[in-house]
Structure 1
Amino acid sequence: MKKILIAGAGGAPTEGVIFSLLKNSDNYIVGMGSEPTDLILSKAHKKYYIPYANTAEYKDRLLEILNREKPDLVHFQNDLEIYHASLIREDIKATGTKIFMPEHSVIDTCVHKYKSYQAFTDAGIVVPKNIVINTEDDLKEAFEKLSDRVGKIWLRDSGIGGGGKGALPTSDYNLAKAWIDHYEGWGEFIAAEMLTSRTVTWLSIWHRGKLVVAQARAREGWTHGSRAISGVTGVTKVGVTVSDEKISKVAISAIEAISDKPHGIFGVDMAYDSKGVPNPTEINISRFFTTVRFFTEAGVNFPEIFKKLALDEHPKIEMGTINPLKDNLMWVRAMDVEPKLVAKRNIESEIIF
């Protein structure tokens, strides 16, 4: 039996990983998290409270849990914790627990969006032009140089965090200025050219520079997107499996722009421009996306593959497998409702129109 410590227990991103690992009865899951009301919802066998990763108490508590439980592997599921845990990776490994993540410089580049943008542009990858907003003059320049045909730009917080953190599409300079003021975000926000609402994610696992497995998934809307000013919540409402060589090529180029020897999980988020070209907007590093259970239910268990690689076991998949799942499988989600896997062609057979 393998014991695995999973961070962020009780939250949707982590519970998808736990669900997948529990498909194999040989796994014993220890969950930890910073929200007690999330923890009580977790399917982990045992649960620990831990302070937030950016607090002084985090390191000692993490090492205490590791020394007490002696897990074979520890895995983190949000950018903040990944970043801070990466900084103390040698202390973690000294407990005898394995980790499976790239070097810290790769993590640092991926969790800071402007650094990712610079890496993409240096590699000649097509991406929307970005400007760091340090001053009001920068914001004025962004509207002059980046706005689309209706005058809109895309603002977002370039720091650590997901879920469309601080995102705002706007053609109103005064609103943009007030938005940055509200977040005290001067020097932290970036402005970018607008892309279309058509988005796709390419989830992949790499091992010592070699691609192990990857699967593309298009997004057809965000859960509660109408309640966010940006329309983006970071929570996919409907995911659909797709296979497109162009998506894979762009994703691999983006990953190789960040790391010359990829190792661990790389999830490339892309949005299409008006010419139909997928532009990488960020790489979700060292973590699975919220709907990873989708792939498990469809037949490819990414967390189990990840675990086996981390523990030097052979995953039951051919190295370099890309898009092993059938196209047009849909994963449909809503709050407090069990998600459902369905073939897109079968929707009409279940619904009276």
Structure 2
Amino acid sequence: MKMKILITGAGGSASIGLTRCLKNYFPKAKIIGVESDLFNSALSETNSTYLIPRASDKDYIKVLNHIILKEKIDFLYPQTDSEISAIAKNIRKIQCKTLIPSFKIISTCQNKYKLNKHLFAKGIPVPKTILIKTSSDLKNATKYKLFWLRNVTGAGAKGAFLAENFEQAIWWINFQNGWGHFTASEYMPEDNYGCDLLFAGGKLVFSQIKRRLEYVLSKANIVGITGTTGILETVSTKFDLNDISERAVTLLDNNISGAFSVDIKCDSLSKPYVTEINPGRFLSSSMHLFAETKFPAPALVILVANDQKLPSFPKRNPIKGGTILIRQLDRKPATVNLKNHNRLRKKFERKHYVKLET
């Protein structure tokens, strides 16, 4: 299929994996990237890359559409959470096809406390969780041994800490200035799973379970979780995990479409609980798993959006069980010339976007 695909966050780990996946399945496609970090842009593997404003910038959508029209883009594939949210919020303004959930669904999923309450009300097993607004809330949480503290927004285990008592918990909340936007939850000490899913009009296209075995630079994080999986194993027989993931997503909207990823942690009795749903994207490590195993998950997103015929594969756990993915960093380091770097930065400040040299 000859087409032009625009991906966001092009120099980030997930988008590097995404680029490799799309090149595997669409060798004739032109893949164009946008990146808001000038340093990260040097790592992009797209055919060409633009430096653009961050998703929070008032001109983000305007610049994105300028590039879409200039490059005659056929499909926009957003990757980072902030860009998925910004694009969903302005979906009627986007000048090409894309496939992401509604802004309402994204807002629910990207707030972990709001999602926890939503899933609990729908009967999905979730960890007991309290929003910490006051010291009384924290005392109540520690009374019930809810010692897992984390920010309600963000990725990469942002703000996560496993307290041992009330004194440690209140110190951490104070240190993080977390009153009102941190939660305390049951700690899930056993297996850690992720499930990537794709839906089309409420119907499952596929779901794939993986078990996280180790995180990259885990010893550099106070809780050993960095959000970047270093070693994972595909799982083909735990269909209860597929069940819980699929139900959790379809209970957001029974006509749901797009990519999702669900995080599942198990308690001391190995009972699974849903801890997160990432809307509009597959997990970062999964992009590299898909690229290495040649399973065309990101390409399927584009095929679904264009009502194209899909290749044949098992709907549940299409990648052979027991496949191990081992990661450290996802491409060779790049060097940049400081003088040229500063020149590009100044040009970006003048024009608000820059097409970078390859």
Q: TM-score, normalised by structure 1?
A: 0.89
Distance in 2, Cα, partners of 1:54 & 1:146:
37
7-16 or 67-76, larger mean C-alpha shift? 67-76
172-181 or 231-240, larger mean C-alpha shift? 172-181
Distance in 1, Cα, partners of 2:308 & 2:124:
35
**Greater relative CO (CA pairs within 8 A, separation 6+):** 2
1:304 is matched with 299
Distance in 2, Cα, partners of 1:196 & 1:257:
26
1:3 is matched with 4
Distance in 1, Cα, partners of 2:296 & 2:330:
23
Distance change >3 Å, CA 256–CA 47, structure 1 → 2: same
1:260 is matched with 254
Q: 1:135: Cα distance to partner?
A: 1.0
55-64 or 70-79, larger mean C-alpha shift? 55-64
1:327 is matched with 321
Letter in 1 for 2:38: P
| Match status 1:213 vs 2:206 | yes
Letter in 1 for 2:73: P
Q: What is the correspondence of 1:173-322 to structure 2 with a 5 Å cutoff?
A: 173-243=166-236, 244-291=238-285, 292-317=287-312, 321-322=315-316
SS at match of 1:38: helix
On the 8 A contact 1:218/1:239 being kept in 2, the answer is yes
Distance change >3 Å, CA 56–CA 141, structure 1 → 2: same
Distance in 1, Cα, partners of 2:75 & 2:290:
22
Q: 1:336: Cα distance to partner?
A: 6.3
2:42 is matched with 40
Distance change >3 Å, CA 88–CA 337, structure 1 → 2: closer
On the 8 A contact 1:31/1:48 being kept in 2, the answer is yes
Distance in 2, Cα, partners of 1:134 & 1:183:
13
2:14 is matched with 13
SS at match of 2:210: strand
Distance in 2, Cα, partners of 1:77 & 1:146:
36
Distance in 2, Cα, partners of 1:327 & 1:283:
23
Distance in 2, Cα, partners of 1:297 & 1:272:
28
Distance in 2, Cα, partners of 1:125 & 1:204:
17
Distance in 2, Cα, partners of 1:165 & 1:21:
30
Distance in 2, Cα, partners of 1:99 & 1:284:
17
Q: 1:337: Cα distance to partner?
A: 6.8
Distance in 1, Cα, partners of 2:177 & 2:324:
39
Q: 1:215: Cα distance to partner?
A: 1.0
Q: 1:88: Cα distance to partner?
A: 0.5
Q: State the Cα deviation string for residues 19-71 of structure 1 (Å, max 9, x = none).
A: 00011212211100111111111110111111111122322222222222221
| Match status 1:111 vs 2:110 | yes
On the 8 A contact 1:6/1:75 being kept in 2, the answer is yes
On the 8 A contact 1:116/1:258 being kept in 2, the answer is no
248-257 or 236-245, larger mean C-alpha shift? 248-257
| Match status 1:164 vs 2:157 | yes
On the 8 A contact 2:21/2:290 being kept in 1, the answer is no
Q: Which runs of 5+ in 1 are unaligned?
A: 148-152, 339-353
Q: TM-score, normalised by structure 2?
A: 0.88
Q: 1:197: Cα distance to partner?
A: 4.2
| Match status 1:142 vs 2:141 | yes
Q: 1:205: Cα distance to partner?
A: 0.6
On the 8 A contact 2:197/2:282 being kept in 1, the answer is no
Aligned residues: 328
1:349 is matched with none
Letter in 2 for 1:262: I
Distance change >3 Å, CA 146–CA 262, structure 1 → 2: farther
1:346 is matched with none
Distance in 1, Cα, partners of 2:281 & 2:330:
23
Letter in 1 for 2:162: P
Runs of 4+ off more than 4 Å: none
Distance change >3 Å, CA 178–CA 60, structure 1 → 2: farther
43-52 or 179-188, larger mean C-alpha shift? 179-188
2:68 is matched with 66
Distance in 2, Cα, partners of 1:145 & 1:269:
23
Distance in 1, Cα, partners of 2:229 & 2:203:
29
2:51 is matched with 49
% identity of equivalent residues: 32
Distance in 2, Cα, partners of 1:110 & 1:321:
24
Distance change >3 Å, CA 117–CA 336, structure 1 → 2: closer
On the 8 A contact 2:13/2:330 being kept in 1, the answer is no
